[in-house]
């Protein structure tokens, strides 16, 4: 059956319920009419390129469950496509709803196509990274046309969302050169656009040719993720005029995208002190017309390299509770090295914890069910039942089994042994004598 | 020189500036008059038993830096005093301001005395745990007098603060028996008091003989940490009538302690959904007359055994930003096993991150300095300088060194290699051509 619409947003606005909306409604326990209404307004996006036929679609928006993204991709220091594909499937199995392919080495197209033909998660890319690699020419030799052609290529490859750093312009160059910031720009894509503009003297191609980009995204239903080139890279730069100035430009672009029925979300900080996170979420909602907010972190301190999955979990949980709807995972290797398989695992778990805790705090229907089952299992000291509801059962079981209580108390663990409060309470409530010695 | 006061609070109320107040003022960058005023009102406590002469004193209160506590102690499943003492000194070196000795095996007094004669951190204990061990008699054979005598013994041993579960009474037994809760009581000490009351039919000795306890604490300047026997052990039980009912009784006891110039803090939850944390902090402040709030967690989800240092870091950071002043560390082994050396390390780091992020959010003077230095080092891609300001330099260095970029770019790391945003920006701002291929 031929589609009578270009994008999910266009369909929603025409009152058409798409199969993707049906799936999202089912997953989120909402009537499909609500999903349609939110998709029409842009408060919810359903990134699903019409060519990515194996996708298991998900909606992103603050009224829905918080989603997480995992960054992967081959690079000069990790070239093996098979290992990377294994990481992708591991991430999907652990519950990641999106994979961003940040490949920056070799022939990137086959891996990208493999992802959109085999992977059920949403696939995102950052075309500006790929431009250098795709053309095998250094940055200063590329033209604005080259960049736009890469966006088209990714759309044709079935990518569901693309990060485009449309919000920096020549004013940004002036501000940064005036020394307004401690960390300048820390967005990889943003720094490439900045460098290209500096070297060529031209305007940002992703801003200048935004209408042409909208044509491409409309044709394939690629969701635009408006990159935050100016996200703060340290607490000192958080919520400054450079960041908010870019946000104002992104707000305008959200409106322009929606005029063409192109789905759009907005990327956000970065490094932000805890007391500024709620304000950041609120400002994004007002300035960007309630477009879904996709945040990296935010990291709540700069001094914890090696543990930035934790600093990001704190910030991400607070952000999601206050309106962010999509969390980019951060691994313990952030700021230090390419994450290995263990780092990817730790990063995903930390993000899932943040997302889940926020969903409970938002009072989403059924969000706390798993926690309640866990509590019941704990009260019964039923360990097999506890593993059923644990986020990472294998890891939890391993810790307990490595240090069982010395005495034969299969009901307790070695943390408290016979002092176990649950054991004491169960005995007290059933009238048994408590033996502790 | 003989002391003309019993407790720090009495001194403060008499307008006497003690050496302990001087030290606290220096550490917190406040004039000593402020510390004295806060100590007089009870908003700040300085736990320092007059017999713990080697203490490096610290203040606890919401206007001061957030402090962290590390639980250690020998148990049936970990009997070696020397290993435990090593863990204590490791914790102190990592920045723990307090150590709670939860020893529950063997002859506990020598280890307790060793702590108060060698360790500069505040030492806390939970006398009700020790009662069973000290007398080597099972719970139902102990008398109210036995419990009070153990409190005195700990005071004589130089302990700076004692957790006493004074807030449960026979009404609590009724409520719990009526099945008001999913997880009943999960406080180890609270469950022992509950069990003892159930078995003997008597009233809670720590409540009934509270005046006598105040005499002991006044004599040695032992700070009372009012234990939250009824802290929620799962999200479903959070902020319920059982918890808040106990808090009301604790508020009365705070007032009674302060009448005798006895320093007092209040212990708090537990497992709490994120959206309830700020309310919990506010209610504690009003009901308990702004007594310092000492929280365990709060854990923001129940489903992450093996990662509860992360769920606690999220909750602890939010709690501390909203008024908690003292965080009890939680390790990855929580709910599963006795923590090993690695778990203790992970738990301390996660707590330090939460405490530090909260201090920044509270806007404490100088709280962000270390972060700003880190940002400067990052902008300069000066890795040796970054290690200087990292919370765990050894760990961070190890990650970077294990996966250096393949090409000779000593300035970047393998996360981005030549795509490093900082490198690109530095080159762009100095007018250099960016080489990425």
Q: What's the ipTM?
A: 0.97
Give the pLDDT score at A76.
75
Q: Which part of chain B has CATH 3.20.20.540?
A: 8-362
Express each pLDDT in B67-79 by its tens digit.
999 999 887 767 7
Tokens representing B428? Answer: 């762009």
Verify cis geometry, omega within 30 degrees of 0, for the bond prior to A357.
Answer: no
Distance CA(A353)–CA(A370), nearest Å, equals 13
Give the pLDDT score at B78.
72
Beta bridge partners of A69: A98, A328
pLDDT at A409 over 80: no
Q: In chain A, which residues have their Cβ closer than 8 Å to the Cβ of B375? A: 182-183, 233-237, 302
3-state secondary structure of A223: strand
Distance CA(A298)–CA(A315), nearest Å, equals 5
Structural contact between residues A423 and A414, judged by C-beta atoms closer than 8 angstroms: no
Confidence of residue B1 (pLDDT cuts 50, 70, 90): low
* Chain A to chain B Cβ contacts (< 8 Å): 398
Contact B428 A194 (CB under 8 A): yes
pLDDT at B437 over 90: no
Shortest Cα–Cα distance, A4 to chain B (Å): 41
Mean pLDDT for A413-432 is 92
Confidence of residue B388 (pLDDT cuts 50, 70, 90): very high
Express each pLDDT in B301-318 by its tens digit.
999 999 999 999 999 999
pLDDT at A377 over 80: yes
Distance of CA B115 to CAs B108, B230, B236, Å? 11, 29, 38
Confidence of residue A268 (pLDDT cuts 50, 70, 90): very high
H-run or E-run covering A115: helix A109-118
Give the pLDDT score at B2.
75
Express each pLDDT in A140-161 by its tens digit.
999 999 999 999 999 999 999 9
| Nearest to B249, CA basis, from B230, B223, B234 | B230
Task: Give the gyration radius of chain A's Cα atoms.
Answer: 23
- As a whole-number percent, the residues of chain A with pLDDT over 90 amount to 88
Locus of tokens 């160059």: A173
Tokens representing A313? Answer: 């979990």
Distance CA(A220)–CA(A224), nearest Å, equals 11
Locus of tokens 């408006």: A226
Q: Which residue of B has its CA nearest to A435?
A: B138
What's the CA angle centered on B214, arms B208 and B215, to 5 degrees? 115
Those residues whose C-beta lies under 8 Å from the C-beta of residue A286, and which sit 6 or more positions away, are none
Give the pLDDT score at A408.
63
Q: Which of A275, A317, A375 comes nearest B361 by C-beta?
A: A275
Distance CA(B23)–CA(B347), nearest Å, equals 27
C-alpha B23, offset from chain centre:
20
Verify cis geometry, omega within 30 degrees of 0, for the bond prior to B270.
Answer: yes
Distance CA(A328)–CA(A294), nearest Å, equals 7
pLDDT at A75 over 90: no
Shortest Cα–Cα distance, B320 to chain A (Å): 11
3-state secondary structure of A52: coil
Mean pLDDT for B285-300 is 98
Verify cis geometry, omega within 30 degrees of 0, for the bond prior to B298.
Answer: yes
Residues in chain B, overall count: 437
Q: Which of B300, B374, B403 comes nearest A338 by C-beta?
A: B403
Structural contact between residues A424 and B195, judged by C-beta atoms closer than 8 angstroms: yes
Give the pLDDT score at A128.
95
Give the pLDDT score at A1.
58
Those residues whose C-beta lies under 8 Å from the C-beta of residue B249, and which sit 6 or more positions away, are B166, B167, B169, B207
Distance CA(B132)–CA(B139), nearest Å, equals 6
Q: Which residue of B has its CA nearest to A338?
A: B415
Distance CA(A18)–CA(A38), nearest Å, equals 13
Structural contact between residues A418 and A381, judged by C-beta atoms closer than 8 angstroms: no
Q: Which residue of B has its CA nearest to A358?
A: B274
B265 phi, psi to nearest 5 deg: -130, 170
Mean pLDDT for B88-104 is 95
Beta bridge partners of A328: A69, A296
Those residues whose C-beta lies under 8 Å from the C-beta of residue A374, and which sit 6 or more positions away, are A386, A389, A390, B234, B302, B303
Q: In chain A, which residues have their Cβ closer than 8 Å to the Cβ of B334? A: 415
Give the pLDDT score at B11.
98
Give the pLDDT score at A68.
98
Verify cis geometry, omega within 30 degrees of 0, for the bond prior to B283.
Answer: no
User: Average pLDDT, whole number, for chain B?
Assistant: 95
Contact A337 B419 (CB under 8 A): no
Torsion of CA A181, A187, A193, A198, to 10 degrees: 30
Express each pLDDT in A310-357 by its tens digit.
999 999 999 999 999 999 999 999 999 999 999 999 999 999 999 999
Structural contact between residues B239 and B277, judged by C-beta atoms closer than 8 angstroms: no
- Looking at residue A390, what DSSP letter applies? -
Strands of A39-157, DSSP E: 67-72, 98-101, 122-125
DSSP string, B127-194: HHHHHHHHHT--GGG--HHHHHHHHHHHHHTT-SEEEE--S--HHHHHHHHTT--SS----HHHHHHH
Sign, CA dihedral B60-B62-B63-B69, equals positive
Express each pLDDT in B161-219 by its tens digit.
999 999 999 999 999 999 989 999 999 999 999 999 999 999 999 999 999 999 999 99
Best of A227, A272, A353, A418 to substitute, by most chain B Cβ atoms within 10 angstroms, is A353
C-alpha A132, offset from chain centre:
24
H-run or E-run covering B246: helix B241-259
Those residues whose C-beta lies under 8 Å from the C-beta of residue B342, and which sit 6 or more positions away, are none
Buried b (16+ CB within 10 A) or exposed e, A323-352: bbbbbbbbbbbbbbbbbbeebbbbbbbbbb
| Nearest to A434, CA basis, from A283, A109, A421 | A421
Of chain A, the end-to-end C-alpha distance in Å amounts to 74
Of chain B, the end-to-end C-alpha distance in Å amounts to 74
Give the pLDDT score at B295.
98
pLDDT at B420 over 80: yes
In terms of pLDDT, which residue wins out, B415 or B219? B219
What's the CA angle centered on A234, arms B432 and A240, to 5 degrees? 90
| Helix intervals (H) in A362-420 | 369-379, 383-389, 393-402
Shortest Cα–Cα distance, A116 to chain B (Å): 24
pLDDT at B270 over 70: yes
Tokens representing A297? Answer: 């972190």
Best of B425, B426, B432, B435 to substitute, by most chain A Cβ atoms within 10 angstroms, is B425
Structural contact between residues A78 and A332, judged by C-beta atoms closer than 8 angstroms: no
Best of B302, B316, B366, B370 to substitute, by most chain A Cβ atoms within 10 angstroms, is B302
The neighbour count for residue B230, using CB atoms within 10 Å, is 32
Locus of tokens 């649950």: A422
Shortest Cα–Cα distance, B275 to chain A (Å): 5
Q: Which of A273, A313, A340 comes nearest B314 by C-beta?
A: A313
Best of A73, A269, A300, A379 to substitute, by most chain B Cβ atoms within 10 angstroms, is A300
Pairing of strands A326-328, B293-296: unpaired
Beta bridge partners of A357: none
Q: Model's pTM, two decimal places?
A: 0.97
CATH class of B8-362: alpha beta
Give the pLDDT score at A423.
94
Give the pLDDT score at B411.
86
Residues in chain A, overall count: 437
- As a whole-number percent, the residues of chain B with pLDDT over 90 amount to 88
Mean pLDDT for A9-21 is 98
Contact B419 A188 (CB under 8 A): yes
Locus of tokens 């302060």: B258
Confidence of residue A201 (pLDDT cuts 50, 70, 90): very high
Structural contact between residues A378 and A386, judged by C-beta atoms closer than 8 angstroms: yes
Structural contact between residues B402 and B385, judged by C-beta atoms closer than 8 angstroms: no
pLDDT at A103 over 80: yes
Q: In chain B, which residues have their Cβ closer than 8 Å to the Cβ of A424? A: 188, 191-192, 194-195
Express each pLDDT in B244-253 by its tens digit.
999 999 999 9
Contact A416 B188 (CB under 8 A): yes
Distance of CA B6 to CAs A106, A345, A350, Å? 74, 54, 47
C-alpha A287, offset from chain centre:
21
Beta bridge partners of B68: B327
Express each pLDDT in A113-136 by its tens digit.
999 999 999 999 999 999 988 999
């Amino acid at each position: 059956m031929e589609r009578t619409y270009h994008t999910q947003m266009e369909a929603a606005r025409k009152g058409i319920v798409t199969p993707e909306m049906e799936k999202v409604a089912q997953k989120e326990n909402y009537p499909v009419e609500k999903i349609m209404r939110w998709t029409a307004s842009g408060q919810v996006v359903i990134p699903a390129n019409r060519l990515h036929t194996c996708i298991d679609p998900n909606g992103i928006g603050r009224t829905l469950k918080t989603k997480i993204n995992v960054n992967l991709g081959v690079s000069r220091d990790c070239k093996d496509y098979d290992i990377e594909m294994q990481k992708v499937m591991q991430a999907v199995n652990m519950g990641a709803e999106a994979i961003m392919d940040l490949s920056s080495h070799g022939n990137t197209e086959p891996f990208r196509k493999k992802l959109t033909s085999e992977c059920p998660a949403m696939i995102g890319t950052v075309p500006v990274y790929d431009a250098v690699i795709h053309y095998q020419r250094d940055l200063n030799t590329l033209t604005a046309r080259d960049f736009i052609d890469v966006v088209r290529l990714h759309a044709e490859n079935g990518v569901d969302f693309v990060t485009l750093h449309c919000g920096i312009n020549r004013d940004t160059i002036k501000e940064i050169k005036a020394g307004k910031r401690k960390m300048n720009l820390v967005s990889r894509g943003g720094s490439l656009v900045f460098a290209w503009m500096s070297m060529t003297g031209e305007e940002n191609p992703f801003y200048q040719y935004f209408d042409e980009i909208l044509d491409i995204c409309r044709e394939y239903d690629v969701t635009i993720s408006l990159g935050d080139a100016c996200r703060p890279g340290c607490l000192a730069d958080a919520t400054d005029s450079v960041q908010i100035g870019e946000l104002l430009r992104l707000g305008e672009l959200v409106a322009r995208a929606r005029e063409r029925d192109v789905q759009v979300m907005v990327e956000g900080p970065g490094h932000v002190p805890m007391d500024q996170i709620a304000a950041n979420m609120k400002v994004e909602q007002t300035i960007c017309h309630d477009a879904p907010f996709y945040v990296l972190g935010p990291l709540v301190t700069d001094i914890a390299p090696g543990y930035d999955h934790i600093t990001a979990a704190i910030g991400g949980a607070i952000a999601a509770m206050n309106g962010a709807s999509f969390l980019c995972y951060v691994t313990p290797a952030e700021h230090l090295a390419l994450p290995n398989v263990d780092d990817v695992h730790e990063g995903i778990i930390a993000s899932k914890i943040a997302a889940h805790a926020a969903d409970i705090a938002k009072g989403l229907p059924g969000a706390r069910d798993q926690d309640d089952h866990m509590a019941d299992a704990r009260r019964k000291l039923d360990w097999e039942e506890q593993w059923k509801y644990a986020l990472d059962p294998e890891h939890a079981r391993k810790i307990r089994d490595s240090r069982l209580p010395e005495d034969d108390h299969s009901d307790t663990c070695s943390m408290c042994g016979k002092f176990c409060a649950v054991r004491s309470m169960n005995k007290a409530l059933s009238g048994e004598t408590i033996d502790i010695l």
